[in-house]
Amino acid sequence: MPELCENSSTHKFIKAFQSCILAVVFLLGVLGNSLVLITFTLYRRLKFRSMTNVFLLNLALADLLLLLTIPFKASYTVLDSWIFGIHLCKATRSLYAINFYSGLLFLACISVDRYIVIVMATMAHKLRTKTLLYSKLCTLVVWAASFLLSLPEILFTNLKQWEGGLQCEMFAKTENKAIKLWTRVAQITIGFCLPFMVMLFCYSVIMRTLLRGRSFEKHKALRVIVTLVLVFLLFQLPYSVVLLLKTAGVHEASCSDWDSTLKSEYVTGSLAYSRCCLNPLLYTFVGVRFRNDVLMLLRDLGCISRAQYSCHVAPRQDSSRRLSYASSSAAYTETSSMF
C-alpha cells in the first residue's frame, strides 16, 4: 500500500509536524529529566527510604534514554531513509522499546507505592525497614520485563532496501506476521492497559481515602491525582487506539484510508513521546522538595545568592510529617508533593 499510495503532501505534513513536536519534546525532556537525575544524585543519595524516590529516578533515566532516540527518528522521517548503519538501527529501536515499557511500568509502580503509603498505612509503617530492598527488587523486575518484551525489536530489527533508500524496521526473517502482531498486542496491553488499570484503581482508592479526611488542603492533592490520570490518557490513549485498530485487522482499503492512517499513527506517536518531557513536571516538579533541590543547585552553581535561596526556598513541612501515616494531613503531604 505505501508504494502504491505515495503521497507527497502526506509526507510533507508528517515531516513538518513530527519535526516540530520532536524538537520541543527533546529539548524540554532532556532538560527536565537531566535536572531530576542531577538533583537526586547530588542531594538525595541518602534519602531513598521512599520507594517512590527510587521509581522516580528510574523513570527519569528511562525517559531520558528514550528521548535520546529522537534525533535518529527525526532524521529518519525527514530523509525518508536510514543513514546511520545497521548497528545504530538495532540500538535505537531496542533502546526505544525497552524504555517505552520501563517508563510506563514505573508509572504503575509509583501509583502502587502511593496506594500502600496512604491507604495501607499500617503495612507501610511495618515495611519501612525493607523499603530499599523491595524498591531494588521491583526495579530489577521492571527492567528485566522490559527487556524481555523488547526481544522482538532486538532480534528482528534490520535494514531493508526500497526505492527511496534504506528502511530501519522490524522484519521477521520468515515474514511471520505473528511477531508484529504480538508486539502490537504487548504495546497495547502491557504498555497501556496494565499501567492505566493500576493507576486508575490505586488513585481512585487514594482519592476516596483523601475525601474522608478533614484537611482543607485535600483538594490540591485531588487535583494532582486527576491531572496525572488525565495527562496519561491524553498522550497515551490515542496512540494505543491506533495500534488497536491496526491489530484488529482494520486494513486500508484505499489510498485515502492509508493516508489518514499514516497521519494518525505519526501524530499520535509524536504525542506519546511528549509524555517523556511531562513526567518530570507532573511527578517531580510539583514536589516542594524538588523545587528546593533545584534552588539549591542554582545556589551551588552561583546562579543565585544564599540570601535569594533562603528567601525563595519553600519551608519544610516537618510538623505535618510528624503526624501518623493514617492522618489526612500525611496523606495530603505524600500525595500532593509525590515524595
Helical segments of 131-287, H only: 131-149, 151-156, 177-188, 194-212, 218-247, 255-280
Which parts of the chain have pLDDT scores under 70?
A: 1-11, 44-49, 127, 164, 172-176, 213-222, 249-259, 283-289, 312-339
Strands 165-170 and 157-162: what pairing? Answer: antiparallel
Residue 147: the pLDDT is: 95
Residue 130: the pLDDT is: 76
Residue 114: the pLDDT is: 86
Residue 336: the pLDDT is: 46
pLDDT in tens, 107-116: 899 889 888 8
Residue 221: the pLDDT is: 63
| Helices 85-118, 51-67: crossing angle, 10 deg rounding | 160
Residue 332: the pLDDT is: 45
Residue 78: the pLDDT is: 81
Rounded distance, CA 20 to CA 8, Å? 18
Residue 62: the pLDDT is: 92
Sign of CA dihedral 223, 135, 154, 187: negative
Contact 202/114 with Cβ under 8 angstroms? yes
Rounded distance, CA 283 to CA 108, Å? 12
Residue 318: the pLDDT is: 41
Among 235, 286, 229, 253, CA closest to 108: 229
Residue 94: the pLDDT is: 92
> In the numeric block, which cell numbers belong to residue 104?
510506563
Cβ atoms within 10 A of the Cβ of 17, count?
A: 15
Contact 19/271 with Cβ under 8 angstroms? no
- Which SS3 state, helix, strand or coil, does residue 154 take? helix
Cβ atoms within 10 A of the Cβ of 132, count?
A: 14
Contact 84/72 with Cβ under 8 angstroms? yes
Domains of the chain are 17-282 (1.20.1070.10)
